[in-house]
Structure 1
Amino acid sequence: MSSSEKDVRLSVGDAELTVNPANGCRISSLRIGGTEVLRQGERYGCFPMVPWCGRTENGLFRNGDVPHRLPLNSPPHAIHGTGRDTAWRTARVGEQEAAFYYDLADPWPYPGRVTQTFELSEDSLTLAFGIETYGDSFPAQAGWHPWFLRDLGGGKNVEIAFDAAWQEERGENHLPTGRRIPPLPGPWDDCFGMPDGVDVTLTWPERLQLTLKSRAEWVVIYDEQAEAVCVEPQSGPPNGLNTAPRYVTPIEPLEIATTWSWRRL
């Protein structure tokens, strides 16, 4: 393992963050007061969704009139981008912050660079992405897929609270139909719209409250598994490469950030 692939650990007060750049630059651990809050395992923690989020329909997208095909890693769709399957390089590590990058490559059809930064304080963690192009403009998305443990050991399950303006109606193919509907009760594997910015609170009774915010308008909430719940802020909806393309241009990178803040109960 080269020096650029070693786990990076940040620690401030009783908050401890571990990032694994070799395994998709995912957060492999976030411990608050000695308590792990993320599901453990090489597929879990919190991984980046880049250069697209969620499912891209049938692995197909267009850039103008040029069609492109992506690997069907969740047949019949392509899911969650390539960043989580890529070894990233460490750009810098400070006492409370670290930055990583990787260069876009096949199967993504356009050259560019993705950067991800982490900034830890005693009571918050801020994550940020930037996507820049080395040439042509292209549609892209970025977001995060954290797996928060449902139970932090207190025997009481996490409670999810949020106020969305709408829910993307989900079709039988797991993709948004294009209709916006009033938010439905869970369980969810659904995308919600928050035009004033993502704002979701997770409460583990008598243990911890964590609020996840982002200036992004979209969040996918997934709570259909027994072990963990996911709150995924992202720059566009699932299949957004096709339905709501956000272009990375030579003069305008794609940038997105999220802050998780917490307090003891």
Structure 2
Amino acid sequence: MSNEDITLTAGDAEATVSPAAGGRVTGLRVSGTELLRQGDKFGCFPMVPWCGRTREGRFLNGGTPHALPLNAPPHAIHGTARDGVWSTARKSADEAVITYDLVDPWPYSGRVTQAVTLTEDNLSLTMSVETYDVSFPAQIGWHPWFNRSLGGDGAQDVRIDFTAAWQEERGDDHLPTGRRVDPLPGPWDDCFGMPGGVDVTLTWPGRLELKVASREEWVVVYDEQEAAVCVEPQTGPPNGLNTAPRLVTPIEPLEAATTWTWRRL
């Protein structure tokens, strides 16, 4: 099938999936209001086969060292799939399934499958990484850019609410130091631990409440940009290929999911 943009609809909700633009969700509109920041680098992109920064682009698979391109010097950031062209496996009015085959500079072959499902009040994203050959460590995550303001007269900025068990202490190199600390007030570009699953609420006062949920226990919250805020569920912390690797094997893929549920205020 083609890799043209796919528009999903359910009630007054509409989402656009762009396989050719790194498999990202480029738009999510509720009652005609766009929730995601627009632009080639924004929307919501998949972070795979790793999330956030990998220290100096280096990781080990067992005893085998690998070096990734430093696309955020001195580190490698956010995986390779967001820069690739995905293929459409199937689509319907409210669901799209797209795939991406891992290629160089990632050193292992494998397939990523992402399903995007829309209902009247939520968007569900699921992703898996499979290998038919050599086992390798990997991570899965999503990097949505939510508009800080939904616009209109008197519009107030979004409020971010969550309760985390801990915050990963962030070093000068923007990577976790390995120490866990009590959650600190924002602004954030930080990773938090939620052992009961990711649960973060975004509230645009008087407009909309949106809850980001996932069974995963890691989330990065980024709100240092004027135009948008990010709530990023993921299967491990930044630099997790080294500190908390999840192994993809021929008999066990890596799988993750997140759901965004909204209600009008």
Match of 1:82 among 64, 80, 100: 80
Q: Secondary structure at the match of 1:48?
A: strand
Whole-Å Cα distance in 2 between the matches of residues 4 and 24 of structure 1? 14
Whole-Å Cα distance in 2 between the matches of residues 246 and 62 of structure 1? 12
- Relative to structure 2, which stretch is displaced further, 153-162 or 51-60? 153-162
Q: Within 5 A, what are the aligned runs for 1:34-53?
A: 34-53=32-51
1:59 has 2:71 as partner: no
Whole-Å Cα distance in 1 between the matches of residues 143 and 96 of structure 2? 19
1:123-180 Cα shifts (integer Å, max 9, x gaps): 0010000000121110000100000000001420000000000000000010000000
Deviation of 1:85 (Å): 0.1
Matching residue of 1:105 = 103
| Runs of 4+ in structure 1 over 3 Å off | none
Matching residue of 2:260 = 260
Report the number of matched residues. Answer: 263
Matching residue of 2:113 = 115
1:149 has 2:134 as partner: no
Whole-Å Cα distance in 1 between the matches of residues 167 and 146 of structure 2? 22
Query: TM-score of the superposition, structure 1-length normalised?
Result: 0.98
Deviation of 1:232 (Å): 0.2
Matching residue of 1:243 = 243
Same amino acid, percent of matched pairs = 70
Matching residue of 2:171 = 171
Q: Secondary structure at the match of 1:5?
A: coil
Consecutive unaligned residues in structure 2, runs of 5 or more: none
One-letter code aligned to 1:162: F
Q: Within 5 A, what are the aligned runs for 1:4-15?
A: 4-15=2-13
1:92 has 2:90 as partner: yes
Q: CA RMSD in A?
A: 0.6
Whole-Å Cα distance in 1 between the matches of residues 123 and 25 of structure 2? 11
Whole-Å Cα distance in 1 between the matches of residues 31 and 81 of structure 2? 30
Matching residue of 2:214 = 214
1:98-131 Cα shifts (integer Å, max 9, x gaps): 1000111100001110000001000001000000
Whole-Å Cα distance in 1 between the matches of residues 199 and 100 of structure 2? 29
Whole-Å Cα distance in 2 between the matches of residues 54 and 79 of structure 1? 5
Whole-Å Cα distance in 1 between the matches of residues 189 and 85 of structure 2? 28
Whole-Å Cα distance in 2 between the matches of residues 251 and 214 of structure 1? 24
Query: TM-score of the superposition, structure 2-length normalised?
Result: 0.98
Consecutive unaligned residues in structure 1, runs of 5 or more: none
Matching residue of 1:199 = 199
Whole-Å Cα distance in 2 between the matches of residues 114 and 50 of structure 1? 8
